[in-house]
A and B are shown apart, each in its own frame.
Chain A
Amino acid sequence: MARSSGVREATGDLRLESVTKSFGGFTAVDDLDLLVPRGSFFALLGPSGCGKTTTLRMVAGLEQPTSGRVLIGDTDLTGSRPFERPVNTVFQSYALFPHLTVRDNVAFGPTRRRVREAGALADEALALVEVDHLASRKPAQLSGGQQQRVALARALVNRPEVLLLDEPLGALDLKLRRQLQVELKRIQTEVGLTFVHVTHDQEEAMTMADTVAVMNHGRIEQMGAPAELYDLPRTAFVANFVGRSNLGAGTVLGRDGEHLSAEVQGTTVTVPLSRAQAREGAVLFGIRPEKVRVLREAPEGTGDDVRGTVLDVSFTGVATEYLVRLPSGTVWSCYEQNLDVDPVDLRPGDEVWISWNPAHAFTVPLDEAEAAAAAEATG
C-alpha cells in the first residue's frame, strides 16, 4: 500500500523453527516449533513466566533467538531488526507514546512508512476500535480500556502480516474483557490478518482462537483446535490448565481389543486405545468432571464405576458440583447438570456411586507434580 522504507515484504504463514532463547543460563524458550497459518487467530496459552512474551518478542525482532529461525512465508526474518519486519505488537503494557496525541500515536507507523494520508488512516483505525472521539487526547487522559483500544488501533493501522497481542486484555475487568474479546474476534475476521494472541486465561484462548498452543516451561505441550485440546489432553499439564480434570495414578494391566485396561487406586478402568497417550507401566488416568455421573444406587450397564463418599455439594444454578472422596483418598469433582425435576438430594457424608462412559476417559504420561496439583485443586 505504500513505499516501504526498509520493511521486508514477506507474506505467508508464520513459522518458528527450533527456536531457543536463553538468558544467561536460563532457557526461557526451549526448542520451539510453531506454524501459524496465514489469516488465522492463534492463541498462545500458558502460565506466567512460561516464555510467551519472549516468544512474541522474537517474532517482533525485539529479541533475537539464541538458535533457530523465524520465518514469514519463505522469508527468513531471523536477525532482522524490528522496524524491518511486517509485524506489529500490542504490548502487554500498551506502551503508547506519552508525548503524542491518540491520533499521532496511531499515525506513527504510517508516517514512518511515508504513507500519504497517515492522519486519515489513523482516524479510520480509531473508528474501527470505536475511540475516534478521543483522537486529540493524550494517553494519560484515557482509561485502561481506551488505552488498550488505541494500542490495538496503532498496530492494526499498519495492516501487518502478523499482529502480535501480548495479553492486551489482562488489565481489564471481566465484563469489558468479554466485550473486547468479541470485538477483537470481529476485527480479526474483518481485516483477515494473522493474529497471535498471548494469554494465560484459558477461557479467553478457547473462545477466540482457531488454534491454541499450550505452553509450559518454554515448550509447547500441545497444540490444536480448542475443542480438540479440551476433549483429549495429551499431558497432565494440559489436562489441568485447559479446563479441569479428575486424575488418578495407575498401572496398565493390559489390552483388550480397542481398549486399554488399567488399575487405578484399587479400581479397574478401561480407556479407548485411541485416547491413551500412555499405554504402558505407570500412567495418569483422567476424566473430565462433567463426564462423571453421581448416583445413589449401584449403576447397571457398561460404564466404569467406583464407590465414594460425598464431601461437599455446591449448587451453581445450571449445575451442581459434587466433591466425592474415593476409597483411595483421592477427591474427584463431578458436575451434574440440573436436568431432573426432582433433584438428587445428596448431602455430605452420603454414600454414592460415581460412573462414567469409558469413551470419555483418557490416559497421559505420569507426572507426579501435576497429579499433586490436580489433587490440590479439587481437594
Chain B
Amino acid sequence: MTALAHVGQAGGGGPTPPADDQERPGRRWVPYLLLLPGGLWLLVFFVVPLVQLFTVSLQSQFPGYPGYYYRDVNAGNYLRALTDFAPQFGRSLLFAALATFFAFVLAYPLAYAMAFKVGRWRNVMLIAVIAPFFTSFILRTVAWRQILADEGPVASTLNALHLLPGGHITETWAAVVAGLTYNFLPFMVLPIYASLERADHRVIEAGGDLYANGFTTFRTVTLPMSAPGVLAGTLLTFIPAAGDYVNADLLGADDTKMVGNVIESQFFKVLGGFPVAAALSFTLMALILAMVFVYVRRFGTEELL
C-alpha cells in the first residue's frame, strides 16, 4: 500500500491535513465518509475471503472421501506446504529477486534518461513504457515463448553461434526470469521516473558545485534522492513476481515451477488439494510480508514508513 501511495503522490506534495479541522467539528466525519467505499470494498473482497482462506488452510480431509473436508485446526497442511514444496518456495523468491535485480538494472538508466535527457520525447517514452499494458499479460508472455522458441530468431541465432549450451531458451529458468523481468519492468520504471522527475535539479547541480564529479554526484546525491522510487519499484516488482505463475507456466519446465504454479495446480488439478493450496498461499504471503518488512526497515525512508 505504501509503495502505491508513493507512486500516486509523485506529482503532488503529499497530503496536507485540512487546517480548519478543529474549528469545525461537524466536518470530522468527512475522512470516514471518504474511507467508506474503499473500506467496504476491501472488507467484502479482501478481508472476508482472506479469513475464509485461512480457515480452509486449517481444514482436514474426510478419510476415504477425497475432496471432502471438515473444519479443523490442522497445522499439518502448513508442514506439508513447507516440506514438500520447499524447492518451489526457494525458486519463487530467487526468481523474483533476480527479476527485481534485472528490472532495476534496466529501469534505472531508462528512468534517468526520461527524467533528465530526452526533453520533449519524455511523453512519447512514457507512453511506450505503459503501452504493453494495452494487451493482455498472458498474450504478451505467449509472444515471448514464440520469440524465445528453438526455431525463433533469438535461439536460432545463438545456436548458430554455438552460444547456447543447452540448445533451448524456453523451458529454462533463464526464460522464466527474463519473462518476469519483462512483465514487471514498467512497475520499476514508473516510480523511479517519478522520484527522479520531481528531484530538484538545483540540488543535483549543488553536488557539482561542491566538488563532486559526475559519478560522485550520482552516487551521493541523485541516487539517494531517488531512493523512495527505487524502494517502491523493487516492492512493486518483487511482490507480484514472487506470486506469479504465468511466466513459469508458459516459459519454464517442471524443474522451474514456482509456488504460484503449485498453488494453481493444487487448487484446480489435485483432488483434495484445497487446504494445502490455502496453506501455501498463506505461507507465501507471510514470507513476503516478513521480507518486505525487513527490507523497508533497512532501506526505507520516513516517507514510506
For residue B212, CB closer than 8 A to chain A, the reply is yes
| A112–B216 touching, CB < 8 Å | yes
Chain A residue numbers with a CB within 8 Å of B207 are 97, 108
Q: Are B205 and A82 in contact (CB under 8 A)?
A: yes
Residue of A nearest to B225 (CB): A99
| Distance A100 CA – B209 CA, assembled complex (angstroms) | 16
Of A5, A81, A113, A158, which is within 8 A of B208 by CB?
Answer: A81
By a CB distance below 8 angstroms, the chain B residues around A88 are 209-210
Query: Chain A residues with Cβ under 8 A from B265's Cβ?
Result: none
A contacts with B: majority SS: loop
Determine the interface band of chain B, counting residues with CB < 8 A from chain A: 10 to 19
Question: Please, how many angstroms separate the alpha-carbon atoms of A96 and B210 in the complex?
Answer: 11
* Shortest distance between the CB of A278 and any CB in chain B (Å): 42
B157 contacts chain A at the CB level, 8 A cutoff: no
User: Is B9 positioned at the interface, with any CB of A under 8 Å from its CB?
Assistant: no
User: With A and B bound together, what is the CA distance between A108 and B211 in angstroms?
Assistant: 9
Residues 153-182 (chain A) with a chain B CB within 8 angstroms: 154, 158
Q: If A99-B225, A112-B216 touch, does A62 touch B203 (CB 8 Å cutoff)?
A: no
User: Cβ of B53 < 8 Å from any Cβ of A?
Assistant: no
Of A6, A87, A95, chain B has the most CB atoms within 10 Å of the CB of A95
Residue of B nearest to A6 (CB): B213
* Interchain CB contact under 8 A, B211 and A97: no
B49 on the interface (CB 8 Å rule)?
no
B224 & A62 in contact (Cβ 8 Å cutoff) = no
Q: Is there an interface contact between B202 and A95, defined as CB atoms closer than 8 Å?
A: yes
CB contacts (< 8 Å) of B205 on chain A: these are 62, 82, 91, 95
- For A138, the closest partner residue in chain B by CB is B302
- With A95-B200, A97-B221 known as contacts, the answer to whether A113 contacts B211 (CB < 8 A) is yes
Main secondary structure of the interface of B (DSSP, over half): helix
A98, B225: Cβ atoms under 8 Å? yes
Given contacts A6-B213, A83-B213, contact A99 B224 (CB under 8 A): yes
Q: Which of A272-325 contact B (CB under 8 A)?
A: none
In the assembled complex, the Cα of A81 lies from the Cα of B301 at a distance in Å of 32
Question: What residues of chain B lie closer than 8 Å to A112, measured between beta carbons?
Answer: 210-212, 216
Interface residue? A60 (CB, 8 A): yes
B202–A83 CB distance below 8 A? no
Known: A97-B221, A99-B224, A99-B227. A83 touches B211 (CB 8 A): yes
Give the one of B206, B216, B221, B227 with max A CB within 10 A. Answer: B206
- What residue of chain B has the Cβ atom nearest to residue A7's Cβ? B211
B208 & A62 in contact (Cβ 8 Å cutoff):
yes
**Is B210 touching A154 in the complex (CB atoms < 8 A)?**
yes
In contact, A109 and B221 (Cβ under 8 angstroms): no
What is the CA–CA distance of A99 and B203 in the complex, to the nearest angstrom? 11
**Chain A CB within 10 A, most for which of B207, B208, B210:** B210
CB-contact partner of A93 in B200, B210, B216, B225, under 8 A: B200
Q: List 19 A-B contacts (CB under 8 A).
A: A61-B208, A61-B209, A83-B209, A87-B209, A88-B209, A88-B210, A91-B206, A95-B202, A95-B205, A97-B221, A97-B224, A97-B225, A98-B225, A99-B224, A99-B301, A100-B224, A109-B210, A109-B211, A112-B216
The 4 A-B residue pairs with the shortest CB-CB distance, nearest first, are A95-B202, A82-B208, A112-B211, A109-B210
